[in-house]
């Protein structure tokens, strides 16, 4: 604690880099995990097999949801509070894990500088978590774009055509970066060999339907079924077309076979942190995967998790979408409220709103990019 008081002006990145990080095998031992079951990604990250989920322990566990008032541009600190609360519960002798979403690369490099907590309430290795992590987002991107390619191939096909009307295709490609120039594009230009000319576009990966699906799936079989139910567009006869008609769900699920497994890392204090999935709350349900939450409850007596955006969006979707599908019921809820947010949403002038935290966040983001 004395060291923390003397280094209070360090950036998040500097704090994370100075951390005494444990081997992920030590974290796993603390959860009584058979080390042979680990699928390690280096020394500090590992995948956990779905076979470790114990429904009896899930039902007996205590789930704590962290949400917030509608956030300001700086955010309101749900992740930071979640990590701090989990560390605090472990400090008083409770067996607790924090279960969070994975960061999207777009905001990391363009808006708010990461999603691994802040100060001494962080998950580590912070840089890895913010940059690619274990490749989950890349796999989701590939599965999404595979379906996009199959759609265009079928429109082009003369022998296996589903008679899809290209004007009705609602499925977009994705990438994990903010690139507004690709939001609305034209594909198929350059002659008949390049496909049929039509309007298309890119979403950010966290806003994709595949991301929403993987976060609501209970296992690989449920995932495959949900992928097959993806709506693509209509035929010229006004009949709906689904991904299963393209026989896309098997290949898509295969690309996601590792991405469906939750990731185990640690907090700065060496406590368990499970990070998996990252849908936006204004697009999808805004919470980590059902599998990750159940994994946390299978391994610990208490799980602290957070719901994206404000309580009237992320928390509502957590309670009305995720909980009924997963059979979960929070034992308690924490609401993060700041004076800055109350001023911001109350219509106060910018001069009266303290954006100090926002300025610090921008500075940290700049330091992060300058260093790497």
For the segment 204-217, what is each residue's pLDDT rounded down to a tens digit? 999 999 999 999 99
Could you give the percent of the chain with pLDDT greater than 70? 88
Cα distance between residue 147 and residue 230, in whole Å: 10
pLDDT band at 75 (very low <50, low <70, confident <90, very high): low
Mean pLDDT of the chain, nearest integer: 89
Phi, psi of 39 (to 5 degrees): -115, 85
Question: Does residue 195 come out as left (phi exceeding 0), alpha (psi in the -120 to 50 range) or beta?
Answer: left
pLDDT band at 345 (very low <50, low <70, confident <90, very high): confident
Looking at residue 256, the DSSP 8-state letter turns out to be T
Per-residue confidence (pLDDT) for residue 340, from 0 to 100: 78
Per-residue confidence (pLDDT) for residue 349, from 0 to 100: 75
pLDDT band at 8 (very low <50, low <70, confident <90, very high): low
pLDDT at 94 over 80: yes
Residue 82's SS3 state is: helix
For the segment 12-43, what is each residue's pLDDT rounded down to a tens digit? 888 888 889 999 999 999 999 999 999 999 99
pLDDT band at 353 (very low <50, low <70, confident <90, very high): low
For the segment 244-260, what is each residue's pLDDT rounded down to a tens digit? 999 999 999 999 999 99
Q: Cβ-count burial of 146 within 10 angstroms (0-12 exposed, 13-18 middle, 19+ buried)?
A: middle
Q: Are the C-beta atoms of residues 365 and 112 closer than 8 Å to each other?
A: yes
DSSP of 36-73, one letter per residue?
GG-EESSSS-EE--GGG--HHHHHHSEEEEEEESSP-T
Instruction: Quote the tokens at residue 230.
Output: 């993806």
DSSP of 266-294, one letter per residue?
EETTS-EEEE-----TTTS--S--HHHHH
Comparing 289 with 362, which gets the higher pLDDT?
Answer: 289
Cα distance between residue 101 and residue 117, in whole Å: 11
Residues contacting residue 202 through CB under 8 Å, at least 6 positions apart: 172, 173, 174, 175, 179, 182, 183, 185
pLDDT at 355 over 60: no
Please say whether the dihedral angle defined by the alpha carbons of residues 101, 182, 135 and 358, taken in this order, is positive or negative: negative
pLDDT at 176 over 60: yes
pTM of the predicted model as reported, rounded to 2 decimal places:
0.87
Comparing 338 with 275, which gets the higher pLDDT?
Answer: 275
Per-residue confidence (pLDDT) for residue 2, from 0 to 100: 43
């Amino acid at each position: 604690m004395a060291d923390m008081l003397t280094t209070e002006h360090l950036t998040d990145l500097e704090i994370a880099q100075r951390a005494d990080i444990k081997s992920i095998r030590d974290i796993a031992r603390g959860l009584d995990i058979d080390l042979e079951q680990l699928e390690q990604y280096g020394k500090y990250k590992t995948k956990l097999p779905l076979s470790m989920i114990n429904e009896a322990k899930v039902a007996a566990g205590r789930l704590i949801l962290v949400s917030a008032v509608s956030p300001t541009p700086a955010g309101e600190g749900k992740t930071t509070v979640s990590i701090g609360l989990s560390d605090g519960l472990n400090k008083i002798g409770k067996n607790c894990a924090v279960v969070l979403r994975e960061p999207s690369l777009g905001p990391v490099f363009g808006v708010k500088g990461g999603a691994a907590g802040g100060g001494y309430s962080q998950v580590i290795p912070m840089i890895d978590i913010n940059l690619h992590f274990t490749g989950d987002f890349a796999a989701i991107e590939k599965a999404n774009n595979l379906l996009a390619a199959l759609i265009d191939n079928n429109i082009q096909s003369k022998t296996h055509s589903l008679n899809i009307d290209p004007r009705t295709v609602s499925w977009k490609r994705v990438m994990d970066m903010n690139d507004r120039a690709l939001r609305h594009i034209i594909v198929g230009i350059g002659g008949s060999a390049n496909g049929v000319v039509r309007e298309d576009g890119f979403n950010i990966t966290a806003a994709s339907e595949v991301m929403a699906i993987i976060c609501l799936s209970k296992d690989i079989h449920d995932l495959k079924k949900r992928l097959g139910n993806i709506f693509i567009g209509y035929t010229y006869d006004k009949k709906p077309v689904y991904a299963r008609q393209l026989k896309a769900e098997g290949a898509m699920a295969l690309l996601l076979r590792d991405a469906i497994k939750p990731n185990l890392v640690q907090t700065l204090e060496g406590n368990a942190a499970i990070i998996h999935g990252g849908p936006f709350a204004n697009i999808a349900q805004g919470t980590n995967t059902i599998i990750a939450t159940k994994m946390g409850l299978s391994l610990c007596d208490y799980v602290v998790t957070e719901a994206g955006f404000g309580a009237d969006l992320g928390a509502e979707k957590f309670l009305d979408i995720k909980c009924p599908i997963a059979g979960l019921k929070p034992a308690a809820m924490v609401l993060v409220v700041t004076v800055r947010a109350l001023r911001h949403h109350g219509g106060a002038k910018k001069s009266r709103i303290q954006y100090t935290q926002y300025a610090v966040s921008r500075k940290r983001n700049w330091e992060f990019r300058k260093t790497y």
